Structure 1
C-alpha cells in the first residue's frame, strides 16, 4: 500500500524504517541460493553469522542462524560453499539493515549444479546463442588483442609469450580479473564489455588455466554467456584444458583447448608465413620458367620447319 506524503507532511526516518520492516515481514520464509563469503563462529556463541553472496552479481546479504542449525552442516559447508538457505527476511529498524534468519541450510551438491548447467545450456541453445551462423571470423593479423585473465597467471604468460613468439609485433590490452570465486563473474563481464567497446581491439581472448568443475563455474554463468553473445568483437574462449567445456566455449566465436592453443589460433606464425611466401614465390618462378621454356620450344620448332614454296 502506498503511503501519502508531502513536503509539508514528510515521514520521520523511524516510521519509514518501521514501514519497511512491516513490508518485509509479510514476505514470509523463503528459499535463497548463494555463496558463503564470510563466516563467523565465535567460540561459545549461540549464533553464527555469515554473508551470502550472489555469485553472478555484486550483491550480498547478511545471514544469522542458531549454532545448532549451522552445526548440522558444519563438516561440509564453509566459506566459498554454495548453499540453499531457508530463511525469514528480517529488518532491523534502528540501523535500517536487512538480514536473513536461517532455519535450515543445505549444501548445493555438484550433481545439482551440473543438472542446472545442463538445463541452462539447453535453454540458451534453444535461443540460438550457440548457432554456427552467429560465429564471427577472426582477423588474419590482429593489430590489438584484448586479453582477460588472472593477474600474473600461467594463462596470461602462455598467451603473451606464445603469441609474441609467433608474431613479435602483436600488441595486447590486458584486463586482470578474478577467475574463480564470487568476484569472478562481475569482473570478467566488466572486462569483456570494456574491451568490446574499444574500436582498436580486433579480438578478445578470455583465458584461464585448469581447475575443478566448481572453479570453472563462473565461465558458465548466464550473464557472461549473454555478454559474449552480444559482443561486436570476435571472442575466443580458452578455459581450462581440452576436456573442460564451460558454456563460454559454446557461445564464443572460437574455442581454444588451452591458453597456448588460443595464442596459436589468434596470431599467425611469422616464420611459417615467411616460408609460405617463399614457397609461393618459388612456385610462381617455376611456372614462369616453364612458360618461357614452352614458348622458346615453340619458337624453335617454328623456325626449324621448312618454309613451303609456291609452285
Structure 2
C-alpha cells in the first residue's frame, strides 16, 4: 500500500492499517513472562505488562475474559497467556489483548497445591480432632526416608544422643522424583503390616517445591491421615510446608526436631525411674502402716479385755468371800457349820478356777493367730515391694550394662557406633556397669 505527497495517510489511518496487519498476519500467540505494572481497573478490565530480562510488552485483559482466571494475579508472577497481537489506535501503542491466563512453572504447582489443600481440608482430613497424641515412651521408632540423605543421618545422631537404647527401624524410600510417592506409600504399608513400631517419622531435607512435591501426592496424604500408627511429618526446613504436614499427627520443623519430639531423654528417664522407685517405696510403706493399724488396735483391745486378768480379779473376789465364810463358820453351832461347809463346797465347785485353764488355752490361741496374721501381712507387703523394685531395675538402662554390655565414647563424649569413628592412637572412654575405663586404640580391626 503506497502513499504519495498528494495522498498521505492520516495518523488514524496508519494506526488502523498497522493494527489490521498485526491482527491478520500474526494473530493469536502463546506468551510467557513476568507480570508487571498490574492495574485492576474499576471497570473490571486488567492492564499490565509482560516482561523478561530483555524486553516488555503492554497487555490488556477485558472483563469478560479475566473472570475465567483461577487465581488472583500479582506483580512478579510468572504466567502463560494466550493473546492476540494488536495496536491501541488512539496512542499508537503496540499491545497484546489477552484472552486466557494461567500460572507458569512453580506458580502452577503452587496453584495445584492450594486447590488440593482446600479440597482435602473441606473433607476434614486435616481436622485437629483426628490427630492422636504420640506415645510418651515408644518401644521402637520407624523412619521412612532415603537411606543416603542428610535427614536420616541427622535423625540417627539425635536418637543416639538422647536415647541410645531405643531401637530404630528404617523403611527406605526415594524422597524425590516420579517414583517417590508410590515408594513412600509402599514403605508406609510395610510399616503397618509389620506393626513393630509405636511411632513413624516421614520426611526429608529441604529443597524447592518440585523437590518436595511427592509429599503433596493425594494418595500419600490420605494414607498418612488414615495410618493406624501415629506419624510425625518432617519435610524440608522450618519454612517448607507440605500437605503431609497437615495430615500427620504432628508436624516437626526439621528432621532433627522430629527425632527429639519422639525420643525421651536418657538422663530424664533415669531421673524419672528413680523418682518412681522412691514414690513406690513410700506408697508401699504407707500402705503397710495402714494395714498394721487395725492389728495394733485389735492388740490393744485384746489387752483391755484380757480374760486372764478378769479371771484373776474374780478369783480374788471368791477367795475373799470364802475366807469370810470360814471365819463365820467357826463362830456358828454345828448344824449351821455343816450348812456353811456345804455352801463352801458349792462355792468351790462354782469357782472360776475350774475354767481358768480353758480360758488360758483360748487366750494362747488368740495370741498365736494375731502374731501369725501380722507376720503374713508383713511378708506379703515385703514381697510386693521387692517385686516392684525388681521391675524398676529391669527397666533401667543401667541393667543393660550389668549384663556385660558397655558404652564407648570418643574424646568429645560422643557415643561410638562404629570402629570407623576413631583412628589408631585415639583415646576413648568406656563406661561399664561399675566404673569407667580410659583406653587407647592400638589397632582398628574392622
TM-score, normalised to structure 1's length? 0.54
> Which whole-Å CA distance do the structure 1 matches of 2:134 and 2:110 have between them?
31
Q: How does 1:205-244 map to 2 (within 5 A)?
A: 205-244=201-240
CA deviation string 1:153-181 (max 9, x = no partner): 11111111211211111112212211111
> Which whole-Å CA distance do the structure 1 matches of 2:236 and 2:149 have between them?
12
Q: How does 1:150-169 map to 2 (within 5 A)?
A: 150-169=146-165
Tell me how far 1:277 sits from its aligned partner: 5.2
> Which whole-Å CA distance do the structure 1 matches of 2:188 and 2:276 have between them?
39
> Which whole-Å CA distance do the structure 1 matches of 2:149 and 2:217 have between them?
21
> Which whole-Å CA distance do the structure 2 matches of 1:253 and 1:204 have between them?
10
1:170 to 166, 169, 179: 166
Larger relative CO (CA 8 A, sep 6+): 1 or 2? 1
> Which whole-Å CA distance do the structure 2 matches of 1:120 and 1:185 have between them?
16
2:194 partner SS? coil
* 279 and 234 in structure 1: CA distance in 2 versus 1, 3 angstrom threshold: same
Task: Report what 1:257 is aligned to.
Answer: 253
Give 5+ residue unaligned stretches, structure 1: 1-83, 85-105, 287-311
More helix by share: 2
Q: Does 1:183 align with 2:171?
A: no
Contact 2:103–2:111 (CA under 8 A) maintained in structure 1: no
Task: Report what 2:134 is aligned to.
Answer: 138
Tell me how far 1:201 sits from its aligned partner: 1.6
Tell me how far 1:147 sits from its aligned partner: 0.8
Tell me how far 1:209 sits from its aligned partner: 0.5
> Which whole-Å CA distance do the structure 2 matches of 1:279 and 1:144 have between them?
24
Task: Report what 1:272 is aligned to.
Answer: 268
> Which whole-Å CA distance do the structure 2 matches of 1:172 and 1:283 have between them?
31
> Which whole-Å CA distance do the structure 2 matches of 1:154 and 1:239 have between them?
12
> Which whole-Å CA distance do the structure 2 matches of 1:133 and 1:197 have between them?
25
1:268 partner SS? coil
> Which whole-Å CA distance do the structure 2 matches of 1:124 and 1:115 have between them?
14
Q: Does 1:245 align with 2:244?
A: no
> Which whole-Å CA distance do the structure 1 matches of 2:276 and 2:190 have between them?
41
Deviates more, 1:242-251 or 1:172-181: 172-181
CA deviation string 1:50-106 (max 9, x = no partner): xxxxxxxxxxxxxxxxxxxxxxxxxxxxxxxxxx9xxxxxxxxxxxxxxxxxxxxx9
Q: Does 1:204 align with 2:200?
A: yes
> Which whole-Å CA distance do the structure 1 matches of 2:195 and 2:210 have between them?
34
- Max Rg structure: 2
Contact 1:156–1:207 (CA under 8 A) maintained in structure 2: no
1:170 partner SS? coil
Q: How many pairs does the alignment contain?
A: 184
Tell me how far 1:116 sits from its aligned partner: 1.0
> Which whole-Å CA distance do the structure 2 matches of 1:227 and 1:266 have between them?
21
> Which whole-Å CA distance do the structure 1 matches of 2:277 and 2:231 have between them?
34
> Which whole-Å CA distance do the structure 1 matches of 2:136 and 2:234 have between them?
18
> Which whole-Å CA distance do the structure 1 matches of 2:178 and 2:158 have between them?
30
* 271 and 181 in structure 1: CA distance in 2 versus 1, 3 angstrom threshold: same
> Which whole-Å CA distance do the structure 2 matches of 1:261 and 1:247 have between them?
19
RMSD: 2.6
